[in-house]
Chain A
Amino acid sequence: MLQEKVIDKALKNCIGTDRSRCLRMRFNRNTCSLCMQQCSSGVIGIGEDVTINMDNCSECMLCVSACPSGCFEIRGLNFYSIIARLRKIGASVQSPVIGCSKTASPSSHLRTFCFGYLSEELLIALSVYIQNSVQLDLTGCAGCNGFIDGILESRLENIEAMTGIRISEKIRLVKDRAELDFQDISYDRRSFFRAIRDMTLMQASGLFGDEVDSQGMQSYSAKKMPFKREVLNGTIRILPPERRRAVLYNYYYKADVSEDCNNCFACIGICPTGALKTIEAEGGRELSFNSSLCTGCSLCSSICSRGLIIIEKGFSGDNPFGFQHTKKEHFLMSVA
């Protein structure tokens, strides 16, 4: 029984897909193919469903970070628990080492999936939540998904250039084994047994943990935020104001709605994340927009028959949370 369960779990695809999130499934005229462009082994298919041929998948997880609306989800990944463990280790070690589960390096404090899933959003969050710094062990990449180190490097450069967060000081990419600074955690007798207990529990919970429905299919009308944006929304709350403004400007969107909008609200229906909503206004309901929920997919502009809503990067201001009236001109005019 247990054996079957373990084998079953091991064979299960580790990347779940939810077609109801895919921009092309929601809107047949959309041509987004970010996941397929990023996919290193060409195993993603988009037809009546979003499929991954797991037999040939290199599990680089680049689809997970590429998808703007969170169609792909790594089963068994708990980003916040990784951060919690890093913080625990960080209490006794200057710079914890994260390794990946594919290229088993003996000197890492914890292992996670291939780092391809670390989108810019998750990297920012990681740098903000840890105490000192963290080392990503990329020494095995050369013999595996060799492109990952370069991709991570450019992501860090991007973040630094756009937001001014000095992220390469916090997250160090280590490609050369000699540069890896691995400090073992020394245990006294009590903490040794505690560590064993924690590890055993963690492994057990991994096997029996409450499994998300393996199909993971949601109703198309359900509004759901991609995980990376959910994490970033939490992170910006604790960023210093200047950095926060820079992150908002570069990662958050503003909506420009024309006065001619006739309130058909097709855009509200097609939005996968629920960034658009009706709001009471003078003369009936009208469109309102919540930047913290917008991932910039622009499905709203493409379904609008007259192209009256435009989504652009460059959110200005401090507070992306909450729904705001979109027809500002209309309001000013009604006041005047």
Chain B
Amino acid sequence: MPKYGMVIDLQKCVGCGACAIACKTENNTQDRDKGQTFNWADFVFKTEGKFPDVKFTAMPTLCNHCSDAACVAACPVTPKAMHKHENGMTIHNMERCIGCRQCQKACPYSSEDVGKDNAPYSVISFNDFEDEVHAFYKDGKELIPGCTSSGADVSKKAGDTPPHRTMYKHSDYANVREKGKVEKCMFCEHRVINGEQPYCVASCPAKARIFGDLSDPNSDASMALKKHKAVQLKNSKGKLLKPGEKGTQPNVYYIRSFKAASK
């Protein structure tokens, strides 16, 4: 059984955001609202220093599919809604999720409210109990009355909500989530089991994302890790694990850290 992970080559990544956009269309995630990002693929952008001596870094973030996943330990239901698959992925079962958000509280890479916590990203997002999912595409209000269409009109014309909906099937999760449940990156398991790459990986124009079996020493991901010194994220503020620090044993690695400096 493979143990999937991801290696992100920061020297290849230019922070263009193609992965984030690709993910949003593939997984039909909704717009950021009320402290929930719904960005399964996101970024930590950092600008350091003082003009003219400034440095800029872009670090793509996603669920780390930790080997010692805090979200799984925190999930209170039986069998767990947030659970590990044998292939190393941390998968969320929507049917069993009760929306208690214990996973979000426990995950070091997540925040219950990115606005209040001033966190650049959150791996786990929560769909409100009351608010409609994809409210924008269900709202009949026109931006400019008598001129533009409403979100609901667009959905109706396109024949689905959201209009760009990608249809896929998976035994645990749905392609559009329900009210009152959490959601997060699933490493596109619905694609991986069909022999495809996660969509963020497939869409990266610079091939900065390497997805593969970390237990196979000959996989591209393992080779990249052997060749370069790798670091892992520690929390949702963009801090890194120190050498020797295990954290929750994240399976997303960053190699060749890179800073755009004005020199």
User: Does chain B have a CB within 8 A of A27?
Assistant: yes
Asked if residues B78 and A278 are in contact (CB atoms below 8 Å), the reply is no
* Contacts A269-B180, A277-B129, A278-B129 given; does A220 touch B79 at CB 8 Å: no
Closest A residue to B74 using CB positions: A28
Residues from chain A with a CB closer than 8 A to the CB of B78 are 19, 24-26, 28, 48
Closest A residue to B102 using CB positions: A266
User: Does chain B have a CB within 8 A of A303?
Assistant: yes
Asked if residues B76 and A28 are in contact (CB atoms below 8 Å), the reply is yes
Closest A residue to B101 using CB positions: A266
User: Does chain B have a CB within 8 A of A219?
Assistant: yes
Q: What CA separation (Å) do A205 and B79 show in the bound complex?
A: 36
User: Does chain B have a CB within 8 A of A29?
Assistant: yes
> Looking at B98, B129, B180, which has the most chain A CB atoms within 10 Å of its CB?
B98
Asked if residues A221 and B130 are in contact (CB atoms below 8 Å), the reply is no
Asked if residues A269 and B98 are in contact (CB atoms below 8 Å), the reply is yes
Residues from chain B with a CB closer than 8 A to the CB of A277 are 129
The 8 A CB mask of B174-191 against A (1 = contact, 0 = none) is 000010110000000000
Closest B residue to A299 using CB positions: B76
Within residues 1 to 40 of chain A, which ones have a CB less than 8 A from any CB in chain B?
19-20, 24-29
Asked if residues A221 and B76 are in contact (CB atoms below 8 Å), the reply is no
* A264 interface neighbour in B81, B112, B130, Cβ under 8 Å: B112
User: Does chain A have a CB within 8 A of B96?
Assistant: yes
* B100 interface neighbour in A19, A48, A270, Cβ under 8 Å: A270
User: Does chain A have a CB within 8 A of B240?
Assistant: no
User: Does chain B have a CB within 8 A of A159?
Assistant: no
Q: What CA separation (Å) do A239 and B260 show in the bound complex?
A: 76
Q: What CA separation (Å) do A303 and B76 show in the bound complex?
A: 9
Asked if residues A220 and B77 are in contact (CB atoms below 8 Å), the reply is yes
* B77 interface neighbour in A28, A267, A268, A305, Cβ under 8 Å: A28
User: Does chain A have a CB within 8 A of B22?
Assistant: no
Q: What CA separation (Å) do A186 and B98 show in the bound complex?
A: 55
Q: Smallest CB–CB gap between B88 and chain A, Å? A: 22
Q: What CA separation (Å) do A45 and B102 show in the bound complex?
A: 27
Closest A residue to B80 using CB positions: A28
Closest A residue to B93 using CB positions: A220
Within residues 217 to 274 of chain A, which ones have a CB less than 8 A from any CB in chain B?
219-221, 264-270
Q: What CA separation (Å) do A317 and B88 show in the bound complex?
A: 54
User: Does chain A have a CB within 8 A of B97?
Assistant: yes
Q: What CA separation (Å) do A221 and B94 show in the bound complex?
A: 9
Residues from chain B with a CB closer than 8 A to the CB of A264 are 101, 105, 112
User: Does chain A have a CB within 8 A of B95?
Assistant: yes
Q: Smallest CB–CB gap between A328 and chain B, Å? A: 22
User: Does chain A have a CB within 8 A of B99?
Assistant: yes
Chain B contacts to A: CB under 8 angstroms: 76-79, 81, 95-102, 105, 112, 129-130, 178, 180-181
Chain A contacts to B: CB under 8 angstroms: 19-20, 24-29, 48, 219-221, 264-270, 277-278, 285, 303, 305
Ordered by A's residue number, 15 sampled pairs between the chains whose C-beta atoms are within 8 Å are A24-B78, A25-B78, A26-B76, A26-B78, A27-B76, A29-B76, A48-B79, A220-B81, A220-B98, A221-B99, A265-B129, A269-B98, A269-B101, A277-B129, A278-B130
